[in-house]
Amino acid sequence: MTSTPTNNEGEKFLLPAGLGDGLPPEAGFEAAIVERLVGSFARWGYERVKPPLIEFEASLLAGPGEAMAAHTFRLMDPISQRMMGLRADMTPQVGRIAASRLQNMPRPLRLSYAGQVLRVKGEQMRPERQLGQVGVELIGADGAAADAEVVLLAVEALTSLGVPDLAVDLNVPRLAPSILQHLPAPQRGDLIAALDRKDTARVAERAGEQSALLQGLLRAVGPVETALPVLESLSLPAQGAEVRANLAATIALIRKAAPGLTLTIDVTDHRGFEYHSGIAFTLLGRGVRGEFGRGGRYVNHAGEAATGFSLYLDTLLATLPMPAGSKRVFVPFGADAKAALHLRADGWVTVQGLQSADARAEATRLRCSHFLQDGQVTATGN
């Protein structure tokens, strides 16, 4: 007879906020999603790398990793006595690998990855602190063709999983800062935050002579068919005009390859794109809480142009229907081993009996739909 754990005993098994166990069948489903995504990336020529879970803080937070400093757990390495960090995002690690271990590989370099990341705290829309990431990085390529490639790859990979009503929101997080670069840092930060919130009153109050242009940016939000003409009508500084031209070229390439894809623009969205230097994007679904992933252009540790994306497994698990359970057959203790071998070869999952027992009852107890009896597979309900 098992006893019910006391409160003190139960507390031993509590997990910190934002962390949780992956249980069957969800853990197996997640692993299957990862393999399918990585397979999609491989068919586009992206080769998989495996960065360490933890590395020295100096390298982890260099380059694009600097933007993740506030999200990173730190600890002292007892061997080297140097500070280390637990990765909060895998993109900076892949950038480091490209700039060091793979620096002599021909460019453009196409890499993929999959793994877990840990963050100091969760977000309002994503309270989990441990997250599964799967993604790609295209390193050593600049321009619209590269930007369009990673968007189209993300769309194809998600569509192949059965993600419905997928939409891509294109962002240009450095456009507003380039317009406001002459302003003092506090005023510039206040205006960028107001643009993020779509706070037209605050923008009008604080923008001064830039008010009309910033109000125009706020109108350049929505479906590309209506938002892009508004953006193209604005008189932008040289740097902003170059970014806009690249955005238009990228949209044209995406539209040519995927004419039915829902595309929107938000040139004032800056949140979550702190280290991105060009076009960025968010992958969304109708009625889905949170995003499927994010990506965009950045500069890696070696100063190379790069772009890529990360997909979030928690959103995918919450959205995609769980597949039907596998065919499970109970194989009684003492049954012919060759029979079980043949069943596995035919796609069955075999659950081996470890002692003599009623085969039907054991099959039912162990969640098997069938059992093996006298060399025949019989459904438990028969």
Query: pLDDT digits over 317-358, tens only?
Result: 999 998 887 799 999 999 999 999 999 999 999 999 999 999
Q: What is the pLDDT of residues 111-156, one digit of tens each?
A: 999 999 999 998 777 788 999 999 999 999 999 999 999 999 999 9
* Rounded percentage of the chain residues whose pLDDT exceeds 90: 71
User: Looking at the structure, do residues 187 and 302 belong to the same domain, yes or no?
Assistant: no
User: Looking at the structure, do residues 111 and 185 belong to the same domain, yes or no?
Assistant: no
User: Looking at the structure, do residues 28 and 129 belong to the same domain, yes or no?
Assistant: yes
Q: Is residue 280 part of a domain?
A: no
User: Looking at the structure, do residues 241 and 367 belong to the same domain, yes or no?
Assistant: no
Q: What is the pLDDT of residues 197-228, one digit of tens each?
A: 888 899 888 888 888 899 999 999 999 999 99
User: Looking at the structure, do residues 38 and 147 belong to the same domain, yes or no?
Assistant: yes
Structural domain count, the chain: 3
Looking at the DSSP bridge assignments, the partners of residue 138 are 110, 307
Decide: 111 and 92 in contact? Cβ < 8 Å: no
Residue 136: which of 48, 253, 254 has the closest Cα? 48
- Provide the edge-to-edge strand list for the sheet that holds 73-76: 54-56, 83-86, 73-76
* Residues 217, 232: Cα–Cα separation, whole Å: 10
Q: Is residue 36 part of a domain?
A: yes
User: Looking at the structure, do residues 188 and 109 belong to the same domain, yes or no?
Assistant: no
Decide: 41 and 309 in contact? Cβ < 8 Å: no
User: Looking at the structure, do residues 212 and 307 belong to the same domain, yes or no?
Assistant: no
Model-level pTM?
A: 0.90
User: Looking at the structure, do residues 30 and 156 belong to the same domain, yes or no?
Assistant: yes
Looking at the DSSP bridge assignments, the partners of residue 55 are 85
Residue 169 to residues 14, 17, 108, 119, 222: CA-CA distances in angstroms? 38, 31, 25, 25, 9
3-state SS assignment for residue 178: helix
C-alpha triplet 63, 69, 70: angle, nearest 5°: 150
Residue 113 domain boundaries: 22-164+287-323
Q: Which residues of 117-145 are buried (b: 16+ CB within 10 A; e: fewer)?
A: bbbeebeeebeebbbbbbbbbbbbbeebe
* Residues 175, 299: Cα–Cα separation, whole Å: 16
